[in-house]
């Protein structure tokens, strides 16, 4: 205990010193969790090979309250992996010690700081350990009491209990104070215990500054079976410095250089030679999946008429022998997204997420952290509620694939609430994302395989309606490419489409051809990155470009084309969903929105 007290004192010293040097940061939020984390890491409870952070047997520690990053960095200084000089680069340009944890710091498990997301990431890592890798590691997640107001936390709590994740331990730092006022329940630990317990978790309430109580809580948590555990700790924000301890209005405010000496005097003399010892993990090999059959190429009969959404699960099952790290997650619509096809083939690699899209994406980030290739699926419209998790995935450098079905007005009678009309814009806005939009069974199958092979975020837009084949089995679809489906030396206009509107464009091609009007038809299946060269060639060889998409105009396929051709002065006419959608048959709605065959014919005739 005496050694842990020395370690805690030095951690507090580093927190105060680094945040004052930075002139910004969150010292008070870091100080409240010192005993909770030092006892965990250096009290023999946390097993981690500090020389090999990627060791698959390592326990994992996530700071869901990412603003306490000065504490995270200071802990690793006490582990001998960060120097004091490095700590003093906190928040400076070019430093890996950023304001909130980022993967550039090798001991950060994920990018955190957007509150309410860390527990979901922990769920993903825990699922991997218990059910996929079958490894003995534990997952610890430090949460702040303010973020317990986030719905995504409760989604994660619910799912963790459902899957009996007894390798997941939450540590709730109840320091009472949020950014602008007291939290909803203040220091009422029982209020948290009742709520968390009602979700099926084992709860332990403690004084978070009493090292002995903290140690006993970890002992109890590690011996609990069949349930995740939440340690609910009463703490004081700013603990250890009297003039900031438990004081409102000091969130995110470092001490001034004038205040620092007074605070350090209160701390007393620190021993900078002290180092903590982290216990070593077991040495086990991750379990390997049972693979059914061998990898084979897809083959479809020429008369196949099949919705791209129905191909998705089949494609996952087909490529699994080649990509054995695939894991499928679905938000309780597997019979509509057709992830159920993969589930039926590989049930041990499918996890039901229920109608909780935020947690589903967070869980996927956690699975990616452990080297898996998560494929996430739901209706495209419902991905909008998980956009913050999707946004944060780019900072975690997560290798996740997201499949949105039921896109556009072409879904028909279900009406606007079910129509994905913003998804292309959402996913194009993510840095380094890939956005794919197949038009038939063959392109869908090949693009699922391309997505699995690509490292990074990939979004695949699938269609509800059955469509005929456009391509043959030998056709290849590379990310960043496109297909010139129809062309001649006499093309007057180029029509660029993808998905359902490609079929409308092909129908328009036939009608216009009968009128002796030739058009070029391009399938822009890779909406991002876009095939600029093919578009530029079409711009030079035809009078104008017409884009057609089952999506709102903003941020969609049309704007992708306009951006690609911005320096060419190209004439680009965009047909998109511009009226308030409503229920109706797919054909009625395509006509109503002006993205049907007849609308394309009319626009071509106007341009010509």
Say whether 483-607 and 305-468 share the same fold.
Answer: yes
C-alpha radius of gyration, the chain, whole number: 27
Q: How many CB atoms lie within 10 A of CB 98?
A: 19
Q: Please give the C-alpha separations between residue 45 and each of 93, 186, 217, 370, 532, in angstroms, as whole numbers.
A: 35, 29, 11, 21, 55
| Per-residue model confidence (pLDDT) at position 536 | 98
Tens-digit pLDDT profile for residues 94-112: 999 999 999 999 999 999 9
581-593: b (≥16 Cβ within 10 Å) or e:
beeeebeebbbbb
Active site residues: 357
What are the φ/ψ torsions at residue 546 (nearest 5 degrees)?
A: -120, 120
CATH no. for 305-468? 3.40.50.970
> Any idea which fold 2-267 has?
Rossmann fold (3.40.50)
Domain parsing of the chain, residue ranges: 2-267, 305-468, 483-607
Instruction: Tell which residue, 186, 228, 239, has the closest CA to residue 35.
Output: 239
| Per-residue model confidence (pLDDT) at position 293 | 86
Q: Reading across the β-sheet that carries 202-207, which strands appear in turn?
A: 60-63, 139-144, 168-174, 229-234, 202-207
| Per-residue model confidence (pLDDT) at position 569 | 85
- Which residues share a beta bridge with 279? 47
Q: What is the mean pLDDT of residues 295-323?
A: 97
| 417's tokens | 């609430």
In 464-514, DSSP assigns E strands to 467-468, 483-486, 493-497
Q: CA–CA separation, 450 vs 346, rounded Å?
A: 20
Residue 1 has pLDDT above 90, yes or no: no
Q: In angstroms, how far is the first alpha carbon of the chain from the final one? A: 84
| Per-residue model confidence (pLDDT) at position 2 | 86
| 572's tokens | 């680009």
Tens-digit pLDDT profile for residues 522-576: 999 999 999 999 999 999 999 999 999 999 999 999 999 999 999 998 899 999 9
> Any idea which fold 483-607 has?
Rossmann fold (3.40.50)
């Amino acid at each position: 205990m005496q050694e842990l007290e020395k370690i805690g004192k030095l951690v507090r010293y580093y927190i105060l010193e680094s945040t004052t040097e930075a002139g910004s940061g969150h010292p008070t939020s870091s100080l409240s969790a010192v005993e909770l984390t030092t006892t965990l890491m250096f009290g023999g409870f946390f097993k981690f090979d500090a020389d090999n952070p990627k060791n698959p047997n390592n326990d994992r520690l996530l700071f869901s309250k990412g603003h306490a990053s000065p504490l995270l960095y200071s802990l690793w200084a006490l582990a001998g992996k960060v120097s004091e000089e490095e700590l003093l680069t906190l928040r400076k340009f070019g430093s890996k010690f950023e304001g909130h944890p980022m993967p550039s710091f090798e001991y950060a498990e994920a990018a955190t700081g957007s509150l309410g997301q860390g527990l979901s990431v922990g769920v993903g890592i825990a699922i991997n350990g218990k059910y996929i890798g079958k490894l003995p590691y534990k997952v610890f997640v430090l949460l702040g009491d303010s973020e317990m107001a986030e719905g995504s936390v409760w989604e994660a709590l619910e799912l963790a209990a459902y899957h009996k994740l007894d390798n997941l331990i939450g540590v709730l730092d109840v320091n009472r104070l949020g950014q602008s006022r007291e939290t909803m329940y203040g220091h009422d630990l029982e209020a948290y215990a009742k709520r968390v317990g009602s979700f099926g978790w084992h709860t332990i309430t403690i004084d978070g500054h009493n090292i002995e109580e903290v140690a006993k809580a970890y002992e109890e948590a590690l011996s609990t079976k069949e349930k995740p555990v939440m340690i609910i700790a009463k703490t004081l924000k700013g603990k250890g410095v009297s003039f900031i301890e438990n004081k409102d209005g000091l969130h995110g405010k470092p001490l001034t250089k004038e205040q620092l000496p007074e605070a350090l005097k209160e701390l007393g003399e620190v021993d900078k030679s002290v180092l903590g010892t982290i216990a070593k993990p077991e040495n086990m090999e991750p379990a390997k999946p049972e693979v059914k059959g061998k990898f084979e190429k897809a083959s479809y009969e020429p008369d196949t008429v099949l919705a791209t959404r129905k191909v998705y699960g089949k494609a996952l099952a087909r490529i699994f022998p080649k990509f054995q790290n695939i894991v499928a997650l679905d938000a309780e619509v597997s019979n509509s997204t057709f992830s159920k096809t993969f589930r039926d083939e590989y049930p041990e690699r499918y996890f039901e997420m229920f109608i909780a899209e935020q947690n589903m994406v967070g869980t996927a980030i956690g699975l990616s952290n452990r080297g898996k290739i998560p494929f996430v699926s739901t209706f495209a419209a419902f991905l909008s509620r998980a956009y913050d998790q999707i946004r944060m995935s780019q900072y975690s450098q997560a290798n996740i694939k997201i499949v949105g079905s039921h896109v556009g007005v072409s879904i028909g009678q279900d009406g606007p609430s079910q129509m994905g009309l913003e998804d292309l814009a959402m996913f194009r806005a993510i840095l380094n994302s890939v956005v794919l939009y197949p038009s038939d069974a063959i392109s869908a199958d090949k693009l699922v395989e391309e997505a699995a092979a690509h490292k990074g975020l990939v979004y695949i837009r699938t269609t509800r309606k059955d469509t005929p084949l456009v391509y043959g089995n030998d056709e290849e679809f590379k990310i960043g490419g496109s297909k010139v489906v129809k062309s001649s030396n006499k093309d007057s206009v180029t029509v660029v489409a993808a998905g359902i509107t490609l079929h409308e464009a092909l129908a328009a091609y036939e009608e216009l051809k009968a009128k002796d009007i030739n058009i070029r038809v391009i399938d822009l299946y890779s909406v991002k990155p876009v095939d600029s060269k093919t578009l530029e060639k079409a711009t030079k060889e035809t009078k104008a470009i017409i884009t057609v998409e089952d999506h709102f105009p903003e941020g969609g396929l049309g704007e992708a084309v306009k951006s690609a051709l911005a320096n060419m002065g190209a004439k680009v006419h965009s047909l998109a969903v511009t009226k308030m959608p409503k229920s109706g048959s797919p054909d009625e709605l395509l006509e109503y929105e002006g993205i049907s065959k007849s609308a394309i014919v009319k626009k071509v005739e106007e341009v010509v």
